[in-house]
Structure 1
Amino acid sequence: MADIVDTSKFYPGMKLKWQDGLWEVVDCQHHMKGRGGAVLKCKLRNLDTGSISENSFVSGNDKFERIVFDEKPAQYSYKDGDHYVFMDMESYEEVYLTKEALGPALNYLTDNLEVSLDMYEGKVMGITLPNSVVLKIVDTQPNFKGDTAAGGGKPATMETGLVITVPMFVMNGESVVVDTRTGEYVERVKK
């Protein structure tokens, strides 16, 4: 039996069937109109092509079939040309995925990272990351006199190319915990 949801139940990361394809909700925001109902402005990513579509839906009116993937444990191994190779932890087979299938998860891939393969009708549609990962800072500005720990942050480029905001006291070469759901700094890794 299909799990039918309306747009009022959308959340980032939800997968659904729409326009004869499988899509992931990337972002959605409610906008209230003066006298009418709310409109939901959504960014959806096609799981086959990686393309992004921005659409507006009347909140609560449109119905969609929510997709629930079967998950298989896997480990990221290496990049091979245009493909990213994962090892299925149950069968030890190699699974090749494109950057389109991985989408924003590419920003968090490090050697030997354990993930879940998202399976739908026997086909790998993408991966589910752990809620947080440890990444090494490769480029950030040094501290300077007058910086305060509570006074905001500075941009830092991670080993994967992801740029996040970190506290002023964090330096090049240090490792930090990053939330994969929000892309935000969590804490510095203690040595």
Structure 2
Amino acid sequence: MEIATKLKRGMIIKHNGMLHLVVLCSHNKTGRGSGSIVSKLKNLESGVNAEYRWRSDEKFEEVELDEIPMEYLYQDGDQFWFMNNATFDQIAVNREVLEEELPYLIPNAQVRLIMYEGNPIEVRLPNEVTLVISETGPNARGNTAGAATKPATCETGLVVQVPLFIETGEKIIVATEDGVYVGRAKEK
């Protein structure tokens, strides 16, 4: 058992007998008395987000997880198939587990599959992914005194604000944490 002051974003904990992912965590110190920790927890079974306020002396249980490097292969209905890079074993992951990661998931992507008691509970993406622009508007001229951008739809359906010089068919790098354009991908 750990005390609540050690709570951090990205941890997976057992709270009220259920697994939760710590989505946000903010430590608040008051002028008098002890501080508190406000956290946003995502229930990994139901997918429901809830806010919870911890006393600084309250305890939580961090769970032991297995993190396995995997390669995304393909989608079959609501099942997404991954292959273990070391053993070549394949495993199916339900859509609910990786709903937020879907806009960044392309075939052959290298990810880390988080397992708890043999069940996949989360897919961790790399910090950046390379995506192909499938549709974007024409290069607009005019009021471009600032950093002018336009919306572009990627191959996965993700819409990203890109600079005006980006055209359909180009490869771009996108940050997976917030979906922001990072730059053009270098041709190999």
Q: Which amino acid aligns with 1:155?
A: P
State which drifts further: 21-30 or 129-138.
21-30
Aligned length: 187
| CA-CA distance at 1:153 after TM superposition | 2.6
Superposed, 1:108-123 pairs within 5 Å as: 108-123=104-119
Answer yes or no: is the 8 Å Cα contact 1:43–1:52 preserved in 2.
Answer: no
In structure 2, the residue matched to 1:175 is 171
Q: Distance in 1 between matches of 2:28 and 2:5?
A: 13
- Unpaired runs of 5+ residues, structure 1, are none
| Counterpart pick for 2:162 among 163, 166, 185 | 166
CA displacement, residues 98-125 of structure 1 (integer Å, 9 cap, x when unaligned): 1111131112110111111212223222
Give the CA RMSD over aligned residues. 2.7
| CA-CA distance at 1:157 after TM superposition | 2.0
Q: Distance in 2 between matches of 1:136 and 1:149?
A: 27
Please tell me whether residue 100 in structure 1 is matched to residue 91 in structure 2.
Answer: no
Superposed, 1:28-39 pairs within 5 Å as: 28=25
Q: Distance in 2 between matches of 1:163 and 1:67?
A: 35
Answer yes or no: is the 8 Å Cα contact 2:70–2:83 preserved in 1.
Answer: yes
- Unpaired runs of 5+ residues, structure 2, are none
Superposed, 1:18-167 pairs within 5 Å as: 18-28=15-25, 41-49=38-46, 51-58=47-54, 60-146=56-142, 148=144, 150-167=146-163
Q: Which amino acid aligns with 1:22?
A: L
Q: Which amino acid aligns with 2:11?
A: M
State which drifts further: 27-36 or 157-166.
27-36
Q: Percent identity?
A: 40
Answer yes or no: is the 8 Å Cα contact 1:147–1:168 preserved in 2.
Answer: no
Larger Rg: 2
CA displacement, residues 148-187 of structure 1 (integer Å, 9 cap, x when unaligned): 3842433222211222222222222211111112222111
Answer yes or no: is the 8 Å Cα contact 1:149–1:168 preserved in 2.
Answer: no
| CA-CA distance at 1:127 after TM superposition | 1.7
When normalised by structure 1's length, the TM-score is 0.81
Answer yes or no: is the 8 Å Cα contact 2:11–2:22 preserved in 1.
Answer: yes
In structure 1, the residue matched to 2:14 is 17
